[in-house]
C-alpha cells in the first residue's frame, strides 16, 4: 500500500508529477492499493491511473479539521 497525503501537488511541473505517479505504478504489486489525498480535486491522478490500467475504486471529498481533502483510491490489476 502507498499513501500520499498533501504531497504530489508540490511537484509543480506536470511532466515531473507524471514521473512520480509512474513510480507508484512501478512499485505497486498486483492487487496493491494507493491512496492519494490532496487539497483539490484529484481528477488528474484518477485519469493517469485509469490510463495505466488501474481500477479507480472511489473518489471523495472529506472535510478534515486541517484542510479539505479529495481522495482517490486506486488498485493495480492482479
User: Per DSSP, which regions of the chain are E strands?
Assistant: 2-5, 33-38, 55-63, 68-75
| Whether the Cβ atoms of residue 37 and residue 70 lie closer than 8 Å to each other | yes
Q: CB of 8 within 8 A of CB of 45?
A: yes
pLDDT, tens digit, 9 for 90 and up, residues 34-47: 999 998 888 899 99
Name the DSSP letter for residue 39. S
Domain ranges of the chain: 2-75
3-state class of 34 per DSSP? strand
Q: How far apart are CA 43 and CA 77, in angstroms?
A: 20
Q: pLDDT (tens digit, 9 = 90+) per residue, 22-76?
A: 999 999 999 999 999 998 888 899 999 999 999 998 777 877 777 888 899 999 9
Superfamily of domain 2-75: Vaccinia Virus protein VP39 (3.40.50.150)
Amino acid at each position: 500500500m502507498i499513501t500520499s497525503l498533501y504531497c504530489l501537488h508540490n511537484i509543480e511541473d506536470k511532466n515531473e508529477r507524471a514521473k512520480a505517479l509512474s513510480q507508484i505504478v512501478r512499485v505497486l504489486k498486483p492487487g496493491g492499493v494507493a491512496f492519494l489525498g490532496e487539497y483539490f480535486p484529484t481528477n488528474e491522478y484518477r485519469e493517469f491511473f485509469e490510463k495505466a490500467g488501474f481500477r479507480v475504486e472511489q473518489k471523495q471529498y472529506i472535510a478534515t479539521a486541517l484542510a479539505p481533502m479529495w481522495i482517490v483510491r486506486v488498485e493495480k490489476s492482479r
